[in-house]
Amino acid sequence: MLNDLVKEGGEVFLLGNEAIARGAIEAGVDLVSAYPGTPSSEIADSLAKACPLLKGKMEYYMEYSTNEKVAFETAIGASLAGKRAMCTMKHVGLNVASDSLFSFAYVGARGGFVVVSADDPSMHSSQNEQDNRWYGKSANLPVIEPSSVNEAKELAKLSFEISEKFGLPIIFRTYTRLSHSSGIVRLGRIPKKRINKIKWTRRPETDVILPAHARRLKPILQEKMRRIEDYFSRFEYNWIEGGECDVGIVACGLSYRYVKDALENLKASRGFEVPSILKLSSMYPLPKKLIEKFSAGLKKIVVVEEVDPFMELHLRAMLDTPITGKINGYFPMNYEYNVSVVEESLAKVFSIEPSKDYSKFLEKAKKISSRAPPRPPVLCPGCPHTSTFYAIKKAGGEVFPSDIGCYTLGINKPLEAVDTTICMGASAGVSNGLSYFVDGKIVATIGDSTFFHSGMAPLINAVYNNRDYTLVIIDNSTTAMTGHQPHPGTGKTVAGGGKKISIEDVVRGMGVEFVEIVNSYNVKKLIETIKNAIKHRGVSVVISRHPCAILWTRERRKRGVAPTRFYVTDDCNGCLECMNSFTCPAISLNEGVEIDSELCVGCAVCSAICPQKAIKPIRKEVKS
Amino acid sequence: MSSEGNQADKKGGEVVKSSVNIVIAGVGGQGAITTSSLISRAVMRRGINVITSETHGMAQRGGSVEVHVRIGDVHSPQIPIASADYFISMEAVEVLRYAHYLNDLTKVIINKRVIKPPSAISYPSIDEIVNTVKEIAPNIVTVNATEIARKSANAQAVNVVLTGMLAYYLKEIGVYIEDFQSAIKEVFPERIQEKNIKALYSGYNYIKEIKA
């Protein structure tokens, strides 16, 4: 909770992401930049909320940047000015920022620099399961990974010191199960600090990576990494726990906690000789001296780590001791771990039975859970995206490249107006390629925040290369899916006083000749406009604009405006246009078509599309 | 510095020897995360270790929500398969979805509230749900928590009524209703504290009466 985040001392209960935010506060961070993305969002959101509360005490700048690359570069600027900077993003966000990451590794950090990468094993809300420890290896940068919520706070704080000590940017890796766990955190001191300006000193020999400079800087980076490798061998968050046999377990990050639980279960039920443990919270570079000390005398080493066999591959290359892990099939190659998975795998390694027959329980439970009707996420009642997708289909769109946001749910029946989703901004880019070959009306969709993030470059490309397709920018004036963060189109910033960027001005400035703006709830006009856009030869843009239904409802409630709810009259002939072409969680078929007045927010779109005009506002009907 | 940091993680080990695992399942917007927050704060007041973990879908509302609360001598945030000591199903059908956490000793609290997803064609009845769950976990309490909430406070306090029911059971590990009352004061704004404390006690007394 917010007041716990800015408290002085004591023990509090924090979300993993809040703990990381608190670590930055205790480190006296000077600037935080972020593009939201699950499971990272609460780090930036917490720091955005704490920022005004800490004014005059521990001051820092906090901005939501247009994308992760910009966030990363903003943080570089702060670091080069000698200030402490943190940028936060989800794992795929680091792909966007990776161009800057590889170069900045050569330049090196001046003020402490921490990039937080929130990975998503099991892909709870992501398009892939990439393991961002590889970025440490390929960019030659240290990777730190906490094993608990309290450690997340401590290590986030310490990362700034380490970064400054070695002049290296730090990749701080968290993941869903840590970011979205809560635990007891022991608070440290919040430093007192005002923001001050500095005088710029030119250092072109490091800060301008000309080829000649880069050739000189690469061995310097390698030397820094050698020094930090020694440091990690003495690192207080890497430790050895002695065992009773000649098998050792290397436990990485949160997997250490799974190992502890699993071994306790096995010990209690099977009474076997407990192996020694090397707990690691530094993932790269590997602490060679510590590993050599640990492995001395061991007959076998078991590696427990989530996602890729990163540590395992390194250990196989480094040691003669036989290694067991994912590669030889003892641990699963995909998806996140938990106690049951780790315990079953360890039981296999030690040729014993797990404390419970987990597989049997799972099998039995599967039969029971199959009786629960699925509860997939749906577009909310009154969601302006539903209206937009309905209009696109009615207007004659045939090919539907789309993008990342709540609107990806347009993939589902009955809308089925999402045909491709690749990554942020790819709707406009994929449309470029499709338009060369596909015989059919291409109507792509992209959200407002995604458009600013990375939709602009492919759209310019389309205009320049004379492509012919329609891009519908579905502008709900927020970054809805990740928790309603602001973006350039909202003009709102954490500090206040941001400038609002007009999407239509941007698009016209790019040379798009057909640009129309329609209220998403005005579904008839939206259909007409998209029809005209499709007819237009060349790139056409329709901006379908209405605030996110959640924000719209919240804002009206604040103003004391009650929503006009709707009901189905006797004129309904059961054609089911409102359910089979349109859709809304408030509309269901029981005796006849019904609208749940508790859920209805009064967008009136169903009323507009009903061929029988059988959906009426409740208030007006009472009057007549 | 690290040894200090790790004490908070390792704590609990000395205080409570056993552990308690609680699964809270529900639908987005029902307040499952608030419930876990109340339990955790109550437990913390007794100096006992607690870790929670939340899993929610991609969308803001309407999806299934699963929260784990692990109390005492535990290390990781996720409850192992078949290892729930308590299971609170805030919506009736959700207990079926997460049946893999149940075993024959799990105490199951099922709220009779039904929230039908728009895509559902058929929906099991409360009797069907109870009979199915019995195949694994026979120890079941059903409750109309919405009605209790409405009578004692307001319909929104369903999650607090269910928290009160659990509070009755947590006496066995030395966490008391007063601890939950304090947690309410930490979590809720002042103007709704009293109503929620009423809701808490009405849930607590519901189990007390069953037990009597």
The DSSP annotation for A498-547 comes to PPPPPHHHHHHHTT-SEEEEEETT-HHHHHHHHHHHHHSSS-EEEEEE--
* Residue of B17, B23, B20 lying closest to B50 (CA atoms): B20
**Domain match, A182 and A276 both:** no
* Residue of A491, A546, A482, A379 lying closest to A68 (CA atoms): A482
Cβ-defined contact of A585 to B118 (cutoff 8 Å): yes
| A385, two tokens | 């995206």
Mean pLDDT of A19-23: 98
**C-alpha pair distances (Å), B119 with each of A373, A376, A413, A602, B115:** 8, 8, 10, 21, 12
**Domain match, A133 and A203 both:** yes
Topology classification of domain B2-211: Pyruvate-ferredoxin Oxidoreductase; domain 3 (3.40.920)
Does the ipTM surpass 0.90?
yes
**Residue A10 in contact with partner chain B when CB distance is under 8 A:** no
Residues of B in contact with A183 (CB under 8 A): 8-9, 50-52, 77
User: How many angstroms separate the CA atoms of A383 and A585, rounded?
Assistant: 10
CB A409 within 8 A of CB A383: no
Domain boundary among A218, A233, A248: A233
∠ CA A607-A610-A614, nearest 5°, is 75
**Domain match, A586 and A536 both:** no
Residues B120-137: b if buried by 16+ CB within 10 A, e if exposed: beeebebeebbebbeebb
pLDDT classification of B58: cutoffs 50, 70, 90:
low
Mean pLDDT of B45-57: 92
Residues of B in contact with A481 (CB under 8 A): 58-60
Minimal CA separation from A598 to chain B, in Å = 12
Domain boundary among A555, A581, A611: A555
**Domain match, A395 and A336 both:** no
Length of chain A: 624
User: How many angstroms separate the CA atoms of B112 and A192, rounded?
Assistant: 52
Q: Give DSSP secondary structure letters for B79-125.
A: PPTT--SEEEESSTTHHHHTGGG--TT-EEEEE------TT-S----
**Domain match, A22 and A159 both:** yes
| A24, two tokens | 């930055």
* Residue A466 domain flag: yes
pTM above 0.90, yes or no: yes
User: How many angstroms separate the CA atoms of B165 and B140, rounded?
Assistant: 13
Sign, Cα dihedral of A263, A264, A269, A275:
positive
**C-alpha pair distances (Å), A224 with each of A141, A142, A230, A524, B210:** 9, 10, 10, 63, 67
Mean pLDDT of B174-178: 97
Nearest to B2 among A13, A237, A258 (CB): A237
Nearest to A364 among B96, B97, B136 (CB): B136
Domain borders along chain B are 2-211
pLDDT classification of A307: cutoffs 50, 70, 90:
very high
pLDDT reported for residue A272: 86
Percent of chain A with pLDDT over 90: 95
Sign, Cα dihedral of A588, A593, A598, A603:
positive
Amino acid at A125: S
Nearest to A378 among B59, B123, B128 (CB): B59
Residues A253-281: b if buried by 16+ CB within 10 A, e if exposed: bbbbbbbbbbbbbbeeeeebebbbbbbbb
pLDDT classification of B1: cutoffs 50, 70, 90:
very low
| A499, two tokens | 């400038």
- State which residue of chain A sits closest to B78, comparing Cα positions: A338
Give chain A's mean pLDDT: 96
H or E segment and range at residue B38: helix B32-45
* Residue A377 domain flag: no
**Phi then psi for A10, rounded to 5 degrees?**
90, 180
User: How many angstroms separate the CA atoms of A40 and B116, rounded?
Assistant: 31
Is residue B6 over pLDDT 80? no
Interface of A with B in 535-594 (CB under 8 A): 550, 583-585, 587-588
Mean pLDDT of A511-537: 98
Query: How many structural domains are present in chain A?
Result: 4
Interface of B with A in 116-175 (CB under 8 A): 116-124, 128, 132-133, 135-136
For B193-204, how does the pLDDT look when each residue is reduced to its tens digit (9 = 90+)? 999 999 999 999
Mean pLDDT of B97-105: 97
Mean pLDDT of B95-110: 97
User: How many angstroms separate the CA atoms of A38 and A83, rounded?
Assistant: 27
Is residue B167 over pLDDT 70? yes
**Domain match, A59 and A207 both:** yes
Cβ-defined contact of A373 to B59 (cutoff 8 Å): no
**C-alpha pair distances (Å), A83 with each of A6, A55, A160:** 21, 17, 10
- Paired sense of beta strands A11-15 and A181-186, if any: antiparallel
Is residue B27 over pLDDT 80? yes
The 10 Å Cβ neighbour count of residue A242 is 9
* Residue A375 domain flag: no
**Domain match, A193 and A133 both:** yes
Cβ-defined contact of B53 to A182 (cutoff 8 Å): yes
* Residue of A426, A493, A503 lying closest to A34 (CA atoms): A493
**C-alpha pair distances (Å), A110 with each of A28, A380, A419:** 15, 46, 46
User: How many angstroms separate the CA atoms of A301 and A323, rounded?
Assistant: 5
Residues of A in contact with B119 (CB under 8 A): 373-374, 376, 378
Mean pLDDT of A567-585: 96
**C-alpha pair distances (Å), B167 with each of A401, A420, A599, B170:** 51, 48, 32, 5
**C-alpha pair distances (Å), A142 with each of A79, A524, B36:** 17, 56, 35
- Domain containing residue A592: CATH number: 3.30.70.20
Amino acid at A539: V
User: How many angstroms separate the CA atoms of A157 and A151, rounded?
Assistant: 10
For A526-542, how does the pLDDT look when each residue is reduced to its tens digit (9 = 90+)? 999 999 999 999 999 99
- Domain containing residue A150: CATH number: 3.40.50.970
The 10 Å Cβ neighbour count of residue A539 is 30
Domain boundary among A368, A399, A432: A368
| A427, two tokens | 């709707």
pLDDT reported for residue B60: 58
Can you give the residue range of the structural domain that contains A324? 239-368
* Residue A600 domain flag: yes
pLDDT classification of B9: cutoffs 50, 70, 90:
very low
pLDDT reported for residue A215: 98
Cis omega (within 30 of 0) on the bond before A384? no
* Residue A376 domain flag: no
Is residue A452 over pLDDT 70? yes
User: How many angstroms separate the CA atoms of A303 and A277, rounded?
Assistant: 10
Cβ-defined contact of A373 to B117 (cutoff 8 Å): yes
User: How many angstroms separate the CA atoms of B51 and A185, rounded?
Assistant: 11
Q: For residue A33, what are the β-bridge partners?
A: A63, A87
User: How many angstroms separate the CA atoms of A272 and A353, rounded?
Assistant: 11
Cβ-defined contact of A158 to B1 (cutoff 8 Å): yes
- Domain containing residue A322: CATH number: 3.40.50.920
For A311-345, how does the pLDDT look when each residue is reduced to its tens digit (9 = 90+)? 999 999 999 999 999 999 999 999 999 999 999 99
Nearest to B136 among A183, A368, A373 (CB): A368
User: How many angstroms separate the CA atoms of B52 and A19, rounded?
Assistant: 14
pLDDT classification of B117: cutoffs 50, 70, 90:
confident
For A371-388, how does the pLDDT look when each residue is reduced to its tens digit (9 = 90+)? 999 988 889 999 999 999
pLDDT reported for residue B12: 39
